Structure 1
Amino acid sequence: MKDKMIIGHIEAINLPAFGISSLPVRVDTGAQTSSLHVDNIKQVSVQGKPGVEFDIHPEMHNVDKVIRCSAPLHDVRKVKSSNGMSEQRYVIKTRAQMGDFEWDIEVTLTNRADMTYLMLLGRQALSGLFYVDVSQTFVMSSEV
Structure 2
Amino acid sequence: MKTKKVLPIVGWRELVQLPDLGLHSIPAKIDTGARTSSLHAVVLDEFERDGEKFVRFAVDFEEPHVRQVCEAVHVDVRGITSSNGEKQDRYVIKTPLRIGDVEFRAEISLADRSDMKFPMLIGRSSLRRRFVVDSGHSWLQKPETKTKKGHKP
**TM-score when scaled to structure 2?**
0.85
Match in the other structure for 2:120: 119
Runs (4+) of structure 1 exceeding 2 A deviation are 59-62
Counterpart CA distance in 1 for 2:140 and 2:62 is 20
Looking at secondary structure, tell me which structure has more strand per residue.
1
Counterpart CA distance in 2 for 1:94 and 1:40 is 16
Counterpart CA distance in 2 for 1:110 and 1:40 is 8
Task: Report % sequence identity.
Answer: 37
Q: Partner letter of residue 18 of structure 1?
A: L
Between Structure 1 and Structure 2, whose CA radius of gyration is higher? 2
Structure 2, gaps ≥5 residues long: 144-153
**Equivalence map 1:45-124=2 (5 Å):** 45-57=48-60, 59=61, 61-62=63-64, 64-124=65-125
Counterpart CA distance in 2 for 1:60 and 1:29 is 26
CA RMSD in angstroms comes to: 1.5
Match in the other structure for 1:17: 20
Structure 1 residue 40, shift from structure 2 partner = 3.5
C-alpha spacing 1:46/1:28, structure 2 compared with 1 (3 Å): farther
The 10-residue stretch of structure 1 (27-36 or 133-142) with the greater mean CA deviation from structure 2: 133-142
C-alpha contact 1:55 1:68 (8 A) present in aligned 2: yes
Q: Find out whether 1:36 has 2:71 as its counterpart.
A: no
Q: Partner letter of residue 105 of structure 2?
A: D
C-alpha contact 1:46 1:72 (8 A) present in aligned 2: no
